[in-house]
Each structure stands twice: as C-alpha cells, then as structure tokens.
Structure 1
Amino acid sequence: MYAHCVPHRNSELCKVFSLQSNLAEVFSSQKSPISCLDGIRTISTILIVMLHVWRFIILRSSHLNEYTALEFWYSPLSNLLEHGRNAVDTFFFLSSFLVMYNFQNKTLKGQHFSLWKFYLNRYFRLFPVLLIVFLFYITLGKFCGKGPMHDNLDVEHWRKNAWTQIVGIANFYCLSPRVSGLVHLWYVHCDTQLYLLTPIAFLVYLKFSKKISLVFICIVLLVSIASVFTGGFMITGNYGIYAVKYWIQFYSVPYFRGNSWIMGLLCAYFFIPMKTSPLKLNKNNEHNSDHKA
C-alpha cells in the first residue's frame, strides 16, 4: 500500500515486501530466456519441504493418532506429498541444464574452455560453506540435540569419516539409519560427482563435433536408464523403496540420478540453437494455408 500511495519515495527495501512490485516482476517478459527455471526451482523446493514436514515431523509426532495417520496415508494428498521425492530430480536437471547452457554460450563467443577452472570453480563455490557446516556439526553438534533418542553415534561416525566430506564422496558412507544428522548433504556430493563427469561430453563436443557429442550423450542416457531400471527392479522387488539398502545403493548415488542430469544436458543442447535461430514458418506453407483459407 505504501508503494502504491507514495511511488516517488519507494526504496529497494520497500519493494521487497511490495505485492505490486513483486507481481510486476514475476509477470514481466523482459527477462532472461531461462528465468522460468526459477519457477521450477520454487515449486520443487515447496514439494520437498512439504514431503519432509509430512514424513519427519507429522508422521513421527507422538500426538498423532495412528489410525488417523493410516487413513491419511492412503489419501490423494499423501500420495502427492510422498512423490515430492521426485522433485529432487528437477534440481539435477536444472544444474546440468545451466552447466551445458553456460558452456555452449562461452563456446559460441569463442571463449576457451579450461578444465581446471571448471573444477576449481565448483569446489571453491560450494565446499568452503559445506565444510564450515560439517566442522560445526562434529564439534558442537552433540550440544544441539536432546531427548531419549539422542546420542552421539552420528557425530562419532562423521568424525571418523571426515575425509569423505572433504573429498566429496560422503553420499557413499551413509551406511546406517542412525547416521542421519548430515544425510541431507548427499545431494551436494552426488551433484558434484555428476558435475565432475560432465566435461567428458564437453571434450567430445570440442574435439570432434556437436553431433557426435549429441550421440555420445544419448548413448550414455540409454545405458543409464537400462542400469537404473535393472538394478532398481532387483532392489525394490526384494526390499522395497523404504529399505535401507535402497537408500544406500540407489537413492543417494550418482548412477541413479544420472538420467535427470543427462536430460538437462540434452535440453540445454537443443535450447541454445532454438534461442539463437528461432523456428520460422516456411513461406510456401504460409502461402498455401492462406490460399486454402
């Protein structure tokens, strides 16, 4: 209301809380061609937060009646919440899309691709913050919990395996259901591992041709789909998707998440040509359609 009544005194701080300014920004067409990714990221974040609130707070609440929980478990809303785990794949998709998008933009501008800069940029952008969180947890984490189920097994586990967080392979060391304090960091490591493998496609792109790199990415995608389908069918058929073995061998590892990552590469691969050379209606077809009309 203040922004509407006193437009000449608007500050950037007021605009942050202004519905009028924010809606104008949301529906503005004068944006980056990939600004729609922000909306996908927002929706995915909401679904993931709702899933964790439902599963780890509501279902585990001591005040929840078991019959009520069971009745809700089979409801359509519960089905929607449980499938919030699929929204995790959208983040892998977005990450790979942006990686390929930036790579192709730099290539079209004639900029040199440096493998070392590619890797170092990733490490120093994410891991210093991650290591600060990790060091806080293994030193002061034992003072941040309470209750009869609280113990220091999780802290001791990560103290012994601190090197896995530094190297970036901690998602392979969540070997116990009791090791859950830092289990959410699996995504950072899994995403980084896929990130480190992506330059293989870039090198094929640069050394050979764009079409050969496309064929290479498609072959890797088919192999990934086949391996995930075969292994996933064997694991879920014998143990179920809620088993610890499913989490260890599939959910948090890169070969399980490779499909969505590769799909992001493919979409960015085709997006750049469409942006630079948009599709146009053939003049002959346009003339024929007008004549028929």
Structure 2
Amino acid sequence: MKIKKNIFFGGLNELRAIAALSVILHHIELFKHRDQLGSLFDYKYTQYFIEHLGKNGVFLFFVLSGFLITYLLLSEKEKNRTVYLKKFYLRRIFRIWPLYYIIIFISFIIIPVLVFYSPLFSITPSYYRMIKDASNYDLKSFLLYFMFLPNFALKAGKVVVGATQSWSVGVEEQFYIVWPIIVSFFKRKTMLLIFLSILIVFAIINLQFSNSLIGKIVTIIPFEFMAIGALGGYFYFKKADKFTQYTKSNTLYIIVLMLIAILISVPVFKLYIQNIILGFVFLLLILITINSSNKVVLRSRSFSFLGTISYGIYMYHPLIMFLIFPVFYKLLTFYNNIFVFNIGVLMFIPGITILVSYGSYRYIEKKFINIKDSKFKTL
C-alpha cells in the first residue's frame, strides 16, 4: 500500500468540536441540577439525553482516538518497517502533558486559594462542599492526578473541582501506552485478534462480572471504545478505496445521523449495550465524515477551528464554570430571573472557554506542538 507523505482526515476537527461542546452542555446542566436551579436533568423528555450527553461526547473522542492512532501507527509501520516507540511517546507527552499539568496546578492550588480568600465562591454550594472537603486534596488524590491516573482517583471518590474531567485524558494516556506496543510487536492478523479480544472481553466483563474486582477495573479503563475505533482504523488502512466507495452515500450519512439522534436521546437497550452500539455508529460517522467524496458531511471553518482547540475547551471549561457561576448566582439573586440566568451561563461559559482555549493553544500549547512536529515526526 502506498503511504501518503502527509495524512490528514477532513472533518475530524468538526467531530471533536461537537464532542467537546456536548461535554460543556452536560456539565452546565449537571451543575444546575446539583444546585436545584431547574436543569434539563429535571425534565422527563430531556433527562436521558442530558444525563448521558457528556459520556457520549467522550465515547466519540475515544472511538476517534482508536481509529486515528491505529491508522497512523499502521502507516508508520508500513513506511518505516517499525514503530518508533520513543518518538510516539514523546509526541504524546509534548501534546498532552503541558495543558494537563496546568489544569492540575490550577485545580489543586489556585482554586482552593480563591475559595479560601473570597467569600464569593461560597454561594455555589455543590462546588463549595467539594472544595472544602480536605479528603479530595490529600496526598493520595494528588499522586493519582499527578501520575495520569485521574480515572482511578474518581473511582476512589477524589473529586477535585477543575480536574475531574481529566479522567478521560488519563484513559487516553493509558491507551497510548498500550496501543503502539501492540501495533509494533504483532503481525496484522494477530493485532486484529487482539483488538477484537479487547472489545469482546471488556464487553463480557461489563455485562456479566461488573461487580467483581476485574469488573471495577475494566469500567475505569473503557478500552473497548478505542478497540471499536481501532477496528475501523485497521480495516480502513487495508481497504480505504472500498470504504470510500461505500461511504459516499448521502442516504447512509442521514441514516447514521438519525441512529445517533435516537441512541443519544432515548433508552432502547440496556445502557452498556446501547453505548457499544453507539460506539459502532460513531465509527460509521467517522468513516463517512473523512470521505471527501461525500458532499453533505459537516465541513465548517468555525467548527474546524473549535476542533483544533478542543483539548483546551475540554480541559478549561470546568475552571470557567467555577469562576462564572458565582457571578450569575449574584445576578439571579438580584434580578430573580431564571431565564436571564440560563441565557447568561449558556453564552458566557462556552464563550469565555473558547477565548481562554484559543489563548492557551496559541501562546502555550502551540510551542510544544511545534517541537513535537519538528523533532519527533515519523510520517
């Protein structure tokens, strides 16, 4: 197979943007629900949608990561006859670690100091209780977050305001440790068997042994969604032309969007089974989206821009919520108008998050991305 010098899949940034914005909406409504401010959680017809919207956005990220990393690793192995593990890990470090540790510093140091010195933040009860709980900031909690194990920290009940969203980044980093080793040391048929085995074994454990020790561990590291993406990346690498032929159908794209709309809005199957089905539908969406022959898929400069800074959007938005909600609590008390309150938080939290994320990307993250691309590129 002939490997292109530069691999770029159009449309993926748009999907990243949608996933990140979905997480923001979920967290805003979750916060309002906790503080009893009239949330979409509280309405029968929106409860399922909003309750699972955040994780569905993360599952889209996971499937996309599984697809893209697998395809890129296979391309690297085809071109160079090996996977340069050191360069792979350094690329991930330069892209992920700087922003991650900025968030950890803000969450463990800046936010508690602000709460200690300013009475303003005491008027948001759900955040205030979590921050005042010293057990969330003990040595165990710090080490788990610091060592890229925030998913294990959350399982242990360590809820650190501003950093809880990093659980999925921890899962991604754990995935990045394992996947290049699989692709590097195993032949294609063997690695395909491994991807299938991970998906099947994780699914069986979740469905039959969820209360066991292994079941609890498996729920912390949901690699089955990466495995779904990896299967897509594997077969797309082998049969890109056939996938391009079959995914250019506008009808198929509409059907996939309708399936996603149903699966994220209403419970049809047992939750875990529905999530797995949704994972495969997300994979179909990805395969259709990257097909430049399909003229109806989402292509938007605005969404592409948001996708470029989506890591920042995902990581900074809890901090912005922490800062913005007390201000609008004050306004709500003053004006006693829940409509103005809702419009305000739905405009200002995403808006300020995007501005902060852009500044972070341009003045901080981009410096490390340039090092990553100039020193550790393999394709």
TM-score, normalization by structure 1: 0.66
| Mapping for residues 1-293 of structure 1, pairs under 5 Å | 34-57=9-32, 59-64=33-38, 72-75=42-45, 77-84=46-53, 85-110=55-80, 112-145=82-115, 146-147=121-122, 149=125, 150=128, 152-153=131-132, 157-158=136-137, 160-161=139-140, 162-174=142-154, 175-176=156-157, 179-205=160-186, 209-232=187-210, 234=211, 249=216, 253-254=220-221, 257-275=222-240
Equivalent-residue separation in structure 2 for 1:153 and 1:123 (angstroms): 32
> Contact 2:104 / 2:146 at 8 angstroms: preserved in 1?
no
Q: Aligned letter for 1:108?
A: E
Q: Aligned letter for 1:214?
A: L
The Cα of 1:218 is off from its aligned counterpart by 1.2
Structure 1 residues not aligned, in runs of 5+: 1-30, 236-247, 282-293
> Contact 1:96 / 1:261 at 8 angstroms: preserved in 2?
yes
> Contact 1:137 / 1:155 at 8 angstroms: preserved in 2?
no
Equivalent-residue separation in structure 1 for 2:227 and 2:103 (angstroms): 30
Question: Which residue matches 1:27?
Answer: none
> Contact 1:100 / 1:269 at 8 angstroms: preserved in 2?
yes
Instruction: Rate the CA distance shift 1:117–1:60 in 2: closer, same or farther, 3 A.
Output: same
RMSD: 3.4
Instruction: Rate the CA distance shift 1:153–1:216 in 2: closer, same or farther, 3 A.
Output: same
Instruction: Rate the CA distance shift 1:108–1:74 in 2: closer, same or farther, 3 A.
Output: same
Q: Deviations over 1:28-51 (max 9, x none)?
A: xxx976223233323322332222
The Cα of 1:181 is off from its aligned counterpart by 4.1
The Cα of 1:111 is off from its aligned counterpart by 5.3
Q: Deviations over 1:34-85 (max 9, x none)?
A: 223233323322332222222212x244554xxx978x5211x333222312
Instruction: Rate the CA distance shift 1:119–1:62 in 2: closer, same or farther, 3 A.
Output: same
The Cα of 1:280 is off from its aligned counterpart by 8.2
> Contact 1:73 / 1:79 at 8 angstroms: preserved in 2?
no
SS in 1 for 2:239: helix
> Contact 1:97 / 1:268 at 8 angstroms: preserved in 2?
yes
Q: Deviations over 1:204-229 (max 9, x none)?
A: 43xxx312221222122211111122
Equivalent-residue separation in structure 2 for 1:188 and 1:252 (angstroms): 15
The Cα of 1:196 is off from its aligned counterpart by 0.9
Q: Deviations over 1:84-129 (max 9, x none)?
A: 1222111111112111111122222235312222223222321122
The Cα of 1:192 is off from its aligned counterpart by 0.7
Q: Which has the higher contact order (CA 8 A, sep 6+)?
A: 2
Question: Which residue matches 2:261?
Answer: none
Question: Which residue matches 1:15?
Answer: none
The share of aligned pairs that are identical, in percent, is 21
> Contact 2:136 / 2:159 at 8 angstroms: preserved in 1?
no
> Contact 2:71 / 2:234 at 8 angstroms: preserved in 1?
yes
Structure having the higher Rg: 1
Instruction: Kindly indicate which of the two structures has a greater share of residues assigned to helix.
Output: 2
Equivalent-residue separation in structure 1 for 2:245 and 2:158 (angstroms): 55
> Contact 1:51 / 1:81 at 8 angstroms: preserved in 2?
yes
Equivalent-residue separation in structure 2 for 1:193 and 1:33 (angstroms): 24
